[in-house]
Structure 1
């Protein structure tokens, strides 16, 4: 946990998260495992209840809400994104949006076929892991498996 926190500080993504928190009026609170929580995020984008930038997890609610026992899976999901930021640094953003585009093209959902969301745990992040493929993608996949 300490290594990923140090890496997100070194690669600048945690600084970006703190800058976003300051610019949006979110309050920074300590979380656990080296994570900071920006509570009270009020912007409309993204629509998610939580999202992560570097070692900063943003929530529309309070830090206590996010750290409650019944949200251990959600905190774990966002915490795995911290690890992804540690590994990818600023490349996280283009990779994430590329995967979002692929997922949306295939299913109409930004998350269910997104490799970074899959790694973080789709269900824990509030994504439907069984979201069906669009009809054209299902036909293409069937054709490919028949020929392959």
Structure 2
């Protein structure tokens, strides 16, 4: 593991986001595994919220799917979220993320397209569709 990932891991422990992620994993009945990029994988998460295929809290990536699901582009997407926790000084990211989801839903009906956290983590890597805002739907090119 490189120095950047060691630094991110330390910051996310200090800012309490990783301990919160571990608590959520325990409450959700997930099995923990040491993962790549300084992350902890929590497979078999049993709670129905949130509805995402995977979500990250600190350096903990939680998923309802079995071991092996977190790989490739999805893993890079979730790793970027771990970096966002470090940049947002930890727990303040949670309310900021919720507000970003609400803005995105109001803009286009999709929780990710206009969510800056998802955009910065790369929507395509996270498997999210790019949905136009409601005011641009149904317009043909010649309507402008």
1:46-61 → structure 2 map (5 Å cutoff): 46-61=50-65
Please point out which of 13, 21, 26 is paired with 1:22.
26
- Residue 75 of structure 2 is matched in structure 1 by 75
- Residue 105 of structure 1 is matched in structure 2 by 106
Which whole-Å deviations, capped at 9, do the CAs of 1:38-64 have from their partners, x for residues lacking one? 000121111111000000000111232
List runs of 5+ in structure 2 lacking aligned partners. 138-143
Which whole-Å deviations, capped at 9, do the CAs of 1:114-144 have from their partners, x for residues lacking one? 0000000101111112x01113xx49xxxxx
Counterparts of 1:57 and 1:108 in 2: how far apart (Å)?
25
Matched, 1:12 2:13: no
Counterparts of 1:120 and 1:132 in 2: how far apart (Å)?
19
Counterparts of 1:24 and 1:59 in 2: how far apart (Å)?
10
- Residue 124 of structure 2 is matched in structure 1 by 123
Larger proportion of helix: 1
Q: Tell whether the 8 Å contact from 1:52 to 1:78 is kept in structure 2 after alignment.
A: yes
Counterparts of 1:55 and 1:63 in 2: how far apart (Å)?
17
Aligned length: 133
Moved >6 Å (runs of 4+): none
Counterparts of 2:10 and 2:24 in 1: how far apart (Å)?
19
CA RMSD in angstroms comes to: 1.5
List runs of 5+ in structure 1 lacking aligned partners. 140-145
Counterparts of 1:73 and 1:94 in 2: how far apart (Å)?
26
Counterparts of 1:128 and 1:23 in 2: how far apart (Å)?
30
How high is the TM-score relative to the length of structure 1?
0.85
Counterparts of 1:39 and 1:132 in 2: how far apart (Å)?
33
- Residue 41 of structure 1 is matched in structure 2 by 45
